Amino acid sequence: MSATIGTEFNMNVLVINSGSSSIKYQIFNMSDNSVPASGVIERIGEPQSSLKHRWLKADGEYAEISLTQYVADHKEGFQWITDVSEDTGLTKQLKELFGIGHRVVHGGEIFHEPTVINEKVIAAIREMVPLAPLHNPANLVAIEAALKAYPDVPQVAVFDTAFHQTMPPHAFHYAVPYELYNKYNVRRYGFHGTSHQFVSRQAAAYLGRPLKELDLITLHLGNGASAAAVKGGRSIDTSMGLTPLEGLIMGTRCGDIDPSLPFYIAQRSGMSMNDIDKMLNKESGLKGICGANDMREIISRAEENDVLAALSLDMFCYRIKKYIGAYYAVLGGTDAVIFTGGIGENAALVRKKCCEGLDGLGVSIDTEKNNSPSGEAREINRSASPVKVLVIPANEELEIAVQTVETILAAK
């Protein structure tokens, strides 16, 4: 079932993406995949929390408000969302929720697909906390708050890692003592799975071909970035690993490095391993090279001959190009290279630099097409190119909504 499931069902689905101090939400009307409301609460637990709420009015136009108040926890946050939604005319949508879909970052090896949430599932997600200490606890808080707020609505956990559970053992194992896998679940898991799955489905629809017949290289490029090799709709390799730190250079994450580097830094600088972990996750990547992690700023500075901005841009694109080549080899060729995410969708220069010199693989960009912005799925390759180069807008929330409906229907 594809992300156009909404054309078949008249139902409302609430999608929740929770952080440690935030709640992002969207309500989808699955009859046409429209969004009657969306918003975000930030700074939960701080003296002044904020809520940005956008909703569709009766006249078909969107309105938006920004509010502030103290919100002690996620339970109060959900109540605030409910109150504001009802105040803006969304009472019917909330009372007729078919389901609630939760983004959960880490499902380990337990969850290979979305699942209806119950106490057993909650306990299993809690067991995964050591693998995602910054993310799973926040996801759990949101799940428990939503269950209290909407006790009669089926709720589904959609895992970032699930799509990559089809990786074969030779792709997900690390070459470290095997007992570390048995004892501590040390292996590569991969992330951004919902995004990679969504754009794979959309690519198949765009190309008018069955997904099971396609070999795809998907590139989710934003402040977090990852690549995936998708064969017949199944992930067979991806750039992120045990954590989201491995792989591509990102906004503040280093990506692939020599494993000895943290020990060398500790010996030479006296930094603790916790400080180094923080540095590699929050102070490295693009920010570590040029002091900025916003690609728009980096490109602007590079065009003004800022040496470090140009270096960070070149490093970012070079690493992506290496992964394109690697996954071309893994797949034995590819039908399409897909760019998505904030950078992938909007930075024409990044797309150009990532694909330069890949003509031998059949990857060739048309400059005019690449430089023509669009909010729709499109191809930017030269007409004679054997490999399609696609730009597909990310919509992880819609994919979560679709998977929520599929999972609830399958469980009935």
The per-residue pLDDT for 238 is 98
| Degrees, nearest 5: CA angle 148-149-151 | 60
Amino acid at 289: I
Identity of residue 153: V
The pLDDT, as a whole number, for residue 294 is: 94
Report pLDDT for 328: 98
- Looking at the chain, the number of H-run helices and the number of E-run strands are 16, 14
Contact 198, 398 (CB under 8 A): yes
Q: Distance between CA 134 and CA 302 in Å, rounded?
A: 33
Whether 214 contacts 262, CB under 8 Å: no
Residue identified by tokens 């992930």 is 235
**Do the Cβ atoms of 406 and 9 come closer than 8 Å?**
no
The neighbour count for residue 66, using CB atoms within 10 Å, is 9
pLDDT of 218: 98
CA–CA dist 252, 364 (Å, integer): 30
Helices of type H across 189-306: 193-207, 261-269, 273-282, 285-290, 295-303
Q: What is the pLDDT of residue 354?
A: 98
User: Which residue matches tokens 């995949």?
Assistant: 33
DSSP tag of 359: G
Residue 398's pLDDT is what? Answer: 94
pLDDT at 138: 85
> What pLDDT shows up at residue 9?
53
Which residues, 6 or more positions from 348, have their beta carbon under 8 angstroms from its beta carbon? 370, 371, 373
How does 170-203 read in b/e, with b if 16+ C-beta sit within 10 Å?
A: ebbeeeeeeeebeeebbbbbbbbbbbbbbbbbbb
Q: What is the pLDDT of residue 7?
A: 42
Q: Find out whether 97 and 65 touch, Cβ atoms under 8 Å.
A: no
CA distance 333 to 352: 20
Token match 């590819």: residue? Answer: 334
Euclidean distance between CA atoms 96 and 32, whole angstroms: 16
Which residue ranges form the domains of the chain, and what is each CATH number? Answer: 5-159 (3.30.420.40), 209-396 (3.30.420.40)
Q: CB within 8 A of 20, min separation 6: which ones?
A: 134, 137, 138, 141
Nearest to 315 by CA among 344, 285, 294, 338: 285
Annotated catalytic, 160?
yes
| Location of structure tokens 């807008």 | 393
Digit-coded pLDDT (tens) for 189-219: 999 999 999 999 999 999 999 999 999 999 9
CA–CA separation, 71 and 10 (whole Å)? 33
- Choose the catalytic residue: 160, 215, 306, 335: 160
CB 390 within 8 A of CB 198: no
Rg (CA), the chain: 22
What is the separation of C-alpha 375 from the centre of its chain, rounded to a whole number of angstroms?
18
Residues of the chain with pLDDT under 70: 1-10
DSSP 123: H
Cα 120 to Cα 42, 110, 112, 228, distances in angstroms: 29, 12, 15, 31
